[in-house]
Structure 1
C-alpha cells in the first residue's frame, strides 16, 4: 500500500538496515583514522576523541539532515514513497590520506620543532581544521559546475570510475580487514550476503544487518576470551564518556599558514570529492532517484565547511552506495537516524567508545557488500556496448590500491619508498613509478580513459582525441598521473630528475594517441556527424 503523496512516511522497516549499514561505514572510517594517528604516529588519544571526532561527527549530522530533506522534497514532488535519500559520511580515501599524509607527518614535524606531544597535537588539529575549510571552499565553488560535467561525461565513465573505486577501496581493502579475523569476518560477511543478497529468512524478527553485527561481535569476544581468537586479541581500554559540544571556533585561522605546504595534496582531495559527488548523483539517477547534481555537491560542501569550522578533520561526501541502500529497503529515515546517532555520539563521546569496542572484522563486511553492489550497477546501468569502457575504468583504481599499501609508513619508511620510486631500470620506467603515476588521480584518469573509449565505440574519434588532449593537460599539472609520490599537483617546469622524464612521457603518450585518432578520423565514412 502506498502512502499519500503529500505525506511520505518518515520511517519504513528497511531504514533500520540502512541505518546500521551507514553507521558502520562512518564508524569504520573513524576507526581507521584513530588507528592510524594513535597506533602509527603515537598521537594523543584525548585530542583525537574529544577535539577531532566531535566536529567531524557534526559534519555527518548536518549533511545527512540536508539529504533527508532533499529526499522528502523529491518524494513530495514525484508523489513516490520509494525515494531513497543520498547517504552521506566520511570519505574513506581522503580520510586515510589526511591521517597518513597530512595529520600524522605534521604532528611529527611539530614535535621536531620542539613542541611537546600535547602542543604538537593541538597544532596538528588546527591544521586539520584549516585543511577542511580549504577543501570545503573549493567544493563550494566547483559545485556549480556539476550539472555541466554530468552532461558532458557518458554514464559508463561516471559509473565505471566509481565502480572501480568500489571494487578496490570498498571491496578489497575491507575484505582484507575482514579476513584478519577469519572466523569472525567470514561468518559476519556470509550472514550479510544471506540477508541482503540471497534475501534469506531469519528465525527472529530483527534487521539482518543488526543480527550479523551481534553474531560477529559475540564471536570475536567469545573466541578471544577463550584463547581461540585471531592473533593479537586484546580487550580495548575503556574510553570515558565526555560531553564535548563542537562549537564554531576560529582555531582554524591559526592552522591556515601550515596548510600551504599541503595544498598540492588538499586541492586534489577536494577535487576528487566533487568528481565523486557527480558520479554518485548519476548512480542515484540510474537507480531511479533524480537528485540535482548541484544540490548534492552543495550539501557536501556545506557539511564539510561546518565540520571544519567546528573542529573536524575529515571531509564528508555522498557515498556511492545509494542504490545498495535502496535495495536494502531504506528510504528517508535511515539518513536522519544516522545523522543524529553519529552527531550526538560525537558530542556525548559514545562514538569514540564504539570505535574502540566494535571489531574491524565485524565492521568491514558491510562495506564489502556496498562495494559489490556498486560494481554490479556500473555494468547493469550502462549501455551493453559500453561494457569495455566500464571495465577499463576499473584499472587505475587497482594501481591506487597498491599505492595505499606500499606507501604505508608502517611497511616502508618514506625515504625508502622515495628511493624505490626513483630507481632506474633498463627496460623502461621503474615498476613502482608506473604504479604510483597511474594511481595518482585515479578517479579522473578512469573518467578520461572511459570517456575516450566510449567515444571510440560510438565511432566519434575526434571527440576521443579531444578527451585525450584534456588528459594531456591535466597530466602536465599532476591532476592525473602526478609524478610526486604523494600525489601532489605542481607546475610542470618545477619538476626535475626522473619525475620530469615520467611527466613528459605520459604527456607525450596522450598527445600521440590523440593525434593518431585525429588522423584516423579523416578517413572517409569513419567519423559520424558531430550531432550524433
Structure 2
C-alpha cells in the first residue's frame, strides 16, 4: 500500500461532517464567551478578541495536532486505516462558568473599585490566564493519578455537579437570551431539538447545528432590518483583521493572587476535566481505538497550560462523542483541519468577525442542547439507585444561578441589595442564604451527592466522614462563603457577625455528621 493511499483512507468522507461539527462547537463557545464578557459585563472588545481569543485558540490548535499525531501513530502500529482521532475543543461548562462566574464578576468588581475599563480588562485578562495555568498544572499532576481520582469521587457526585452547571447555567441562562429575540432563537432551538434530540433528518442531510445556524441567521438578518425584531437586532459591523499573536507572557503571575477567591470554582473545573478525559478515553476504547489514557490526559493538560501562558482564558478538553465521529466516517483529517481553522482564526482575527456576525440568539440553542445532553448523561451514566443523589446535587447550582441574577446591578439596585442581604449579626436573610448556598457550589454538589451515595450504599460511617469534610470546607469559605462574592478566608479574621454565620453552617454539618455516625454504630437497617 502506498503512503498516498494510506493517507487518503485516513481522511475519510466523514471528515467534512466532523469539521463542521467540531468547528461549530468551538465557535459557539467562543461566541458565548465574547457575548457574556462584552455584551453583559462591558469588557473592551479589543481585549477579548486580540488578547483572550488567540491564546485560547492556540490550545485548540496544539491539542488537535497532538491528537491527530496520536491517531496516525495508532494506525501505523495496528495497520488499521479506520482509526478516528480523539476530538478536542474548548470545554463548554467551564468556559461558560469562567465567563459568568469568574471573569465577568471580576471585571465588574475592578470597575466598581474605580479602575478604568482598559486597566480593569487587563487585570481580568491576567486573572483568566492565571486560572488556566492553575487548571493546567492541576490536570498535569492528576493525569498521573486519574484512576485514583475516579475511584475517590462517586460518579453521581462528578456528573451531578457538572449537570447542575449544565442545567441552570448552560441551559437556563442561554434560554433567557433565546427568548429575548424569540422569533430567531425559538425557531433555531426547534431545529436543534428536531435534528439532535428527536434525531430526525434535515433536508439535504444538513448537520443539526449547521441547520439551526442557517435558520437563525436567515431570520435574524431577514427580519432585523425591517424593525420587526425591535431592539433585538444589531446591524453587523465592518470586517476587521484583528491580528493577535499568542506569545508567551508573564502576565499570569500578576493574576495569581486574584485567583484565590475563585479557587473553589477553578479547582473543580480542572478535576472534572481529568475525570472526563478518563471517561472519553474509555468510550473511544470501546469503539475500537485504544488510546493510552495518560497520554490523552497529558495532552489535555499541556494544551491548557500553554494556552494560559500565551493569553488564553478557556481550557480545552477531549470531547465526548469520539464514537459518533467514528460512525460518521471521520478519521484524522477532521481534527487536523479543525485545529488549523480555530488556531489560525484566533491569530488572524476572523473568528472575532464570525462571532460578531452570529448573535447570541442564533448560538444559544446549541448551548441549550449541550445542557440537555450533559444533564441526561448524568442520569444515564449513573445507576438508577443514585438518581436522588444526582438531583440533590442540583440545588447549589440553582442557588448560584439565582445569585448571578440577583447580584446583577441592572436587576437589583446595589443599595437595595445590601439591605436585602442584611447584616449577619441580625440573622441570616433569605438573600444571604441563596448566596451562601451558591458560593462554592461545584464542591458543595460533590459533597452532597457523595454522602447521599454513601448512605444509599449502606456505608453510613463513610457518609458521616464526607459530611465532616464539608464542615472543614465550610469553615474556610471553600463552600458556603458568607461573603457575597464568595472568597475563601480565615474564619477568625472575620467580623463577629460573619463569624457567627460561619459557625452556624459549620455546626450544621457537624451535627449531621454526628447523627450519621451514631446511626452507623447500631445494626444496619434497610
> 1:356 and 2:356 equivalent?
yes
What's the CA shift string for 1:224-255, capped at 9, x where partnerless? 122222533120322411333222234x1xx6
Cα–Cα, structure 1 residues 31 and 198, in superposed 2: closer, same or farther, change >3 Å? closer
> 1:274 and 2:270 equivalent?
yes
Cα–Cα, structure 1 residues 423 and 286, in superposed 2: closer, same or farther, change >3 Å? farther
Tell me the residue number matched to 2:345: 345
Q: How far off its partner does 1:481 sit?
A: 1.7
Of 98, 115, 123, 1:111 maps to 115
Tell me the residue number matched to 1:371: 371
Structure 2 residue runs of 5 or longer lacking an equivalent are: 1-5
Structure 2 contact 126–254 (Cα < 8 Å) conserved: no
Alignment of 1:308-323 (within 5 A): 308-312=308-312, 314-318=313-317, 321-322=320-321
Cα–Cα, structure 1 residues 332 and 102, in superposed 2: closer, same or farther, change >3 Å? farther
Q: Which moved more, 1:200-209 or 1:358-367?
A: 200-209
Alignment of 1:352-431 (within 5 A): 352-412=352-412, 417-423=417-423, 429-431=428-430
> 1:512 and 2:498 equivalent?
no
TM-score by length of 1: 0.84
Q: How far off its partner does 1:259 sit?
A: 4.1
Distance in structure 2 (CA, Å) of the matches to 1:152 and 1:80? 38
> 1:159 and 2:163 equivalent?
no
Of 255, 259, 263, 1:263 maps to 259
Tell me the residue number matched to 1:34: 34
Alignment of 1:462-501 (within 5 A): 462-501=461-500
Cα–Cα, structure 1 residues 445 and 292, in superposed 2: closer, same or farther, change >3 Å? farther
Structure 1 residue runs of 5 or longer lacking an equivalent are: 1-5, 528-532
What's the CA shift string for 1:129-179, capped at 9, x where partnerless? 445434433443444443312112222222222222222222222222222
Distance in structure 2 (CA, Å) of the matches to 1:502 and 1:33? 35
> 1:88 and 2:84 equivalent?
no
Cα–Cα, structure 1 residues 435 and 123, in superposed 2: closer, same or farther, change >3 Å? closer
Tell me the residue number matched to 1:177: 177
Distance in structure 1 (CA, Å) of the matches to 2:520 and 2:297? 37
What's the CA shift string for 1:56-83, capped at 9, x where partnerless? 2212322343455566777888989586
Tell me the residue number matched to 1:3: none
Distance in structure 2 (CA, Å) of the matches to 1:423 and 1:14? 61
Cα–Cα, structure 1 residues 500 and 177, in superposed 2: closer, same or farther, change >3 Å? same
Structure 1 contact 196–328 (Cα < 8 Å) conserved: no
Q: Which moved more, 1:463-472 or 1:133-142?
A: 133-142
Cα–Cα, structure 1 residues 279 and 183, in superposed 2: closer, same or farther, change >3 Å? farther
Structure 1 contact 136–304 (Cα < 8 Å) conserved: yes
Structure 2 contact 171–367 (Cα < 8 Å) conserved: yes
Structure 1 contact 156–390 (Cα < 8 Å) conserved: yes
Structure 1 contact 87–322 (Cα < 8 Å) conserved: no
Q: Secondary structure at the match of 1:111?
A: coil
Q: Which moved more, 1:339-348 or 1:88-97?
A: 88-97
Aligned length: 512
Q: Secondary structure at the match of 2:90?
A: strand
Distance in structure 1 (CA, Å) of the matches to 2:65 and 2:50? 23
Q: How far off its partner does 1:47 sit?
A: 2.9
Distance in structure 1 (CA, Å) of the matches to 2:68 and 2:509? 43
Distance in structure 1 (CA, Å) of the matches to 2:166 and 2:323? 12
Tell me the residue number matched to 2:3: none
Distance in structure 1 (CA, Å) of the matches to 2:330 and 2:478? 36
Tell me the residue number matched to 1:231: 231
Distance in structure 1 (CA, Å) of the matches to 2:299 and 2:314? 12
TM-score by length of 2: 0.85
Distance in structure 1 (CA, Å) of the matches to 2:13 and 2:141? 38
Of 262, 280, 285, 1:284 maps to 280
Cα–Cα, structure 1 residues 374 and 453, in superposed 2: closer, same or farther, change >3 Å? same
Tell me the residue number matched to 1:522: 521
What's the CA shift string for 1:177-229, capped at 9, x where partnerless? 22222121121111122222222233313323212211210111101122222
Structure 2 contact 157–446 (Cα < 8 Å) conserved: yes
Q: How far off its partner does 1:294 sit?
A: 5.3
